[in-house]
Structure 1
Amino acid sequence: MTLQTSNEEPIYYRDASALAALIRTKEISPVEVMKAHLNRMEEVNPAINAIVTINNSALAAAKEAEHAVMRGDTLGVLHGVPFTVKDSIDTAHVLTQRGSPIFKGRIPDHDATGVARMKAAGGILLAKTNLPEFSYWIESDNLLTGKTSNPWDVTRTSGGSSGGESAAIAAGMSPIGLGTDLAISVRGPAAQTGIVSLKATHGRIPMTGIWPRAPRRFWHIGPMARSIRDLALAFSQLAGLDGFDSFSTSAAARQNSIGALPERSLRIGWMTGPGFGPVAGEVVATVKAAADALKGIGLLVEQVSIPALERDFALDVFNRLHVMEMKPAFRAATEGRSVDEMYTMAKTMLSLPDTSVKDYIEAEQAAERIRDGYAAYFEKYDALITHVLPVPAQKHGVEEFVINGQKVDATYLQGATVPLNVTGLPGISMRFGTSREGLPINVQIVGNWFAESTILHIATLLESVSTVSGLHPAL
């Protein structure tokens, strides 16, 4: 596909912050914004299949938002701005089907905490987006709502499990939205479509209203958008205790944007391994380019390693822990249902052998060693720059890759992302390069626990010096 390079952005490619500002100053109406995105959906969604349910009340809500502007009401920071939500996240009176025929027609009575907070900020729920069955795979495909394609190349995936959300935002059908992340699922899809996303410290944003209720120790909900300032704005509204999710935390929870930073120069390490699995050369080059860009503006940057990741492969640790923990949730969800209603991952999960008690305990100890390894790293450094994915967006259905001569299965796409789920550390996915085939390549900015302000600041710096052109796919 060719790239759109027009200097004048259409409404559907303005970021949420810009739209909110234009609405507040009456330069554009919420109705005009809503119609622009609905029209964009009609134009491009048939080819991508990112949107699976449109909120029938969205246009009426936009009209009420317009009346509020004209009345001079106090407006929220996202007043009149449309947002989309992954279809595993509960939305009151709007279908939430979790990508499975087992939940076909399911309509929750209440919003998930994240959705309620976006609405409280003035956002208007526009639509629900596609996902793999139960949010469980690296490609968004299921028996109920089908397969989502990448707007950069429809023969390729937009990732999983928040692949519908990433594709919708990249294609201009939504300015901002919510996804979930168990091992890769907001950061990987963002990388495959060239948008930005934030997986905050575990517990910063409550998981209330998202399947599964338990276990939740590796699960996250996070904002996805097209600008770092939108991630910061959304995070400021989403974070904080909700009284239902016992993992949720309140420490500095509702600070906006960049926050307080050390007076000294930031110290940043970069690495693409060892400890993550094989990585394609053009991805390594992109990570190094991001590190060099930060060094070029005066930050202290050097190549590093984290020995704990070399001793214990985080993906293996995660698998040994999580399979044992998740199987009861899968059994409960599928009890009494036909296997014909289940897609690949539900059947796979139910067929996997239980982790032995010995292996489970050893994996728990390995997870602690990995956390300790990062803790030691952050004694010296303020952030870490890595790749998000070892390769750019793959073709649909690819299950094996040969990377630098090494054959690996598709789960290895999670090699650099899953350590942050095992440890609970925050990370941002943002574009900083382009592959030989014209596909986005993102980097991951990792911070210490509760240091979202630091990585948002670094991401803003990278965004300001990026030379990537053609930020939108031409559809």
Structure 2
Amino acid sequence: MSELHDLTATELARLIRTRQLSAVEVLQAHLDRIEQVNPRVNAVVTLAAERALDAAKAADAARPEEADRPLHGLPVAHKDLVDTAGIRTTYGSPLFAGHVPDQDDLIVRRLRAAGAITVGKTNTPEFGTGSHTVNEVFGATRNPYDLTKSAGGSSGGAAAALATGMVPLADGSDMGGSLRNPASFCNVVGLRPTPGRVPDLSDTAAWFTLAVSGPMARTVEDVTLMLGVVAGFDRRSPYAIKEVFAPEPEEGVAGLRVAWSPDLGGLPVDARTAAVTATAPAVFERLGAHVELADPDLTGAEEAFRTYRAWYYLLAHGDKTELGPNTAWNVEQGRGVTGADLVRAEVARSALYQRMAAFWDTYDILIAPVSQVPPFPVEQPYVTEINGEPLPDYLTWMRSAYWVSALHAPAASVPAGFTPDGLPVGVQIVGPPFEDARVLRVARAFEQATGHGLRRPPLGDGL
């Protein structure tokens, strides 16, 4: 048998359920792996080992009906933006460095109800701001494929923990690419679900649809398993999806109409990233899909995303002082948003949605780059230029992800290959709104046809 930390969540769940492995054995294997590799990667920033061991012992003593839960006995890590009762949650901010919530967020409750065991918290930039995981509380998370590079963000700790076998499952969140970019940078799978598929509860921004929570794992099958647990209706969310999520019974992509957009209509893309993602269309053609070069008209995505993001940051963080530079910049942008700006953003996003509805009449799936660059130096705060084109701020290099965020659509990052110097690159698979199962079906077909996700980081056992 492979090392336990190398096994997928689906395999581990089966072995625990059939009592070929105990939950304690599985947990200890992952705790050992955390001790072995985390000092170099800095992905897990708060460890709940004693509490997790107690939970694992209880899982092994559970009644048969309890042991039949889908994630029974599986270790899971939560992003440090997610509230966990009794476990430190800092949001990557010095303002909350000692904060311990007294309640779990909904996604944590659902994972626990399905039998998952909380191992700890994964690193994130301050309040999840930015696609590079670094903060003043814990420092930077390093890319396990090259420790001198960024793991992406803002779910960078989750992605690095998964890639190195510290956990088989992790949750994340995504406003402008935070489930997709770190998955691309770390050669794992991240799904941005359709907004409302995994409800987020809020007393102050209940109608905000740009930010979503979702699953990350090393395989599409494991992401699908986790989504089945965390998805589901909750009446406290005004746009929660009532339909029960279920994977599509069909296999493969034969006959699907696939639009291939190498740069989403003219965005600068680093040549190394472009070379890897350009191999994806041929994979889909070999699998029987009908692939066409086609750029969706994403006019208005930039204005809509930036306006609503700025508005949200003022709402969420406008009362805080001593913010980091990226969060403070977003708040200041929010202070400048006017009623007329919101009108233009709403009109732009509505027109965009209707144009994309027509696009989805023609195509079943859109494939494109996740990120416009491969992993960059970990000391670099953000990407400042692509192909010689200067970028005005820390957001701009992630347009390939945040334009998609404005579409109210599901999108996955799936391993697509490596640059010549061994850095991972993902391909973005986007589907029509509410077609999360289709996206996962296509992602799994691509994953199985290529096998890129099987290439583990070059972190040996002698660390």
State the TM-score, normalized to the length of structure 2. 0.93
After superposition, the Cα gap between the structure-2 partners of 1:72 and 1:370, relative to the gap in structure 1 and judged at 3 Å, is: closer
Question: Within 5 Å, which residues of 2 pair with 1:26-425?
Answer: 26-55=19-48, 56-68=50-62, 73-208=66-201, 213=205, 216-251=208-243, 253-255=244-246, 257-259=247-249, 265-275=255-265, 277-306=267-296, 308-309=297-298, 311-312=299-300, 314-332=301-319, 334=320, 337=321, 339=322, 342-352=323-333, 353-396=335-378, 397-409=380-392, 410-425=394-409
After superposition, the Cα gap between the structure-2 partners of 1:191 and 1:263, relative to the gap in structure 1 and judged at 3 Å, is: closer
Per-residue deviation, 1:191: 0.6
Q: Structure 2: where are the runs of 5+ without partners?
A: none
Q: 418, 427, 431: which one pairs with 1:447? A: 431
Per-residue deviation, 1:263: 11
Distance 2:233 2:294 in 1: 35
Letter in 2 for 1:62: A
Distance 2:94 2:161 in 1: 22
Distance 1:165 1:148 in 2: 10
Q: Is the 8 A contact 1:78 1:121 kept in 2?
A: yes
Per-residue deviation, 1:359: 3.0
Distance 1:470 1:232 in 2: 18
Per-residue deviation, 1:63: 1.1
Q: Partner residue of 1:4? A: none
After superposition, the Cα gap between the structure-2 partners of 1:212 and 1:106, relative to the gap in structure 1 and judged at 3 Å, is: farther
After superposition, the Cα gap between the structure-2 partners of 1:378 and 1:83, relative to the gap in structure 1 and judged at 3 Å, is: same
When structure 1 is superposed on structure 2, of 77-86 and 357-366 the one drifting more is 357-366
Distance 1:263 1:390 in 2: 26
Q: Is the 8 A contact 1:215 1:325 kept in 2?
A: no
Distance 2:32 2:116 in 1: 19
Cα deviation 1:399-440 (Å, max 9, x = unaligned): 344433323254233212112321210001010110121011
Distance 1:63 1:381 in 2: 49
Percent identity for Structure 1 against Structure 2: 33
When structure 1 is superposed on structure 2, of 315-324 and 189-198 the one drifting more is 315-324
After superposition, the Cα gap between the structure-2 partners of 1:262 and 1:197, relative to the gap in structure 1 and judged at 3 Å, is: closer
Q: Partner residue of 1:471? A: 455
Per-residue deviation, 1:315: 3.1
Per-residue deviation, 1:398: 4.4
Q: Is the 8 A contact 2:206 2:238 kept in 1?
A: no
Q: Is the 8 A contact 1:239 1:250 kept in 2?
A: no
Residues paired across the two proteins, number: 455
Q: Is the 8 A contact 1:447 1:455 kept in 2?
A: yes
Letter in 2 for 1:275: G
Secondary structure, aligned partner of 2:349? helix
Per-residue deviation, 1:450: 0.8
Q: 8, 14, 17: which one pairs with 1:15? A: 8
Q: Partner residue of 1:432? A: 416
After superposition, the Cα gap between the structure-2 partners of 1:382 and 1:14, relative to the gap in structure 1 and judged at 3 Å, is: same
Distance 1:89 1:473 in 2: 27
Letter in 2 for 1:273: D
Distance 2:86 2:281 in 1: 46
Letter in 1 for 2:149: R
Distance 2:116 2:436 in 1: 22
Q: Is the 8 A contact 2:126 2:135 kept in 1?
A: yes
Per-residue deviation, 1:465: 0.8
Q: Is the 8 A contact 2:310 2:331 kept in 1?
A: no
Secondary structure, aligned partner of 2:238? coil
Secondary structure, aligned partner of 1:68? coil
Cα deviation 1:46-84 (Å, max 9, x = unaligned): 111111111231011111111227x67542111111001
When structure 1 is superposed on structure 2, of 400-409 and 445-454 the one drifting more is 400-409
- RMSD over aligned Cα, in angstroms? 2.2
Per-residue deviation, 1:282: 3.1
Q: Is the 8 A contact 1:277 1:412 kept in 2?
A: no
After superposition, the Cα gap between the structure-2 partners of 1:366 and 1:469, relative to the gap in structure 1 and judged at 3 Å, is: closer
Distance 2:254 2:419 in 1: 35
Distance 1:72 1:360 in 2: 51
Distance 2:84 2:122 in 1: 12
Per-residue deviation, 1:258: 2.6
Q: Is the 8 A contact 2:253 2:289 kept in 1?
A: no
Q: Is the 8 A contact 2:254 2:288 kept in 1?
A: no
Q: Structure 1: where are the runs of 5+ without partners?
A: 1-7
Per-residue deviation, 1:104: 2.5
Per-residue deviation, 1:159: 1.2
Per-residue deviation, 1:181: 0.5
Distance 1:207 1:121 in 2: 18
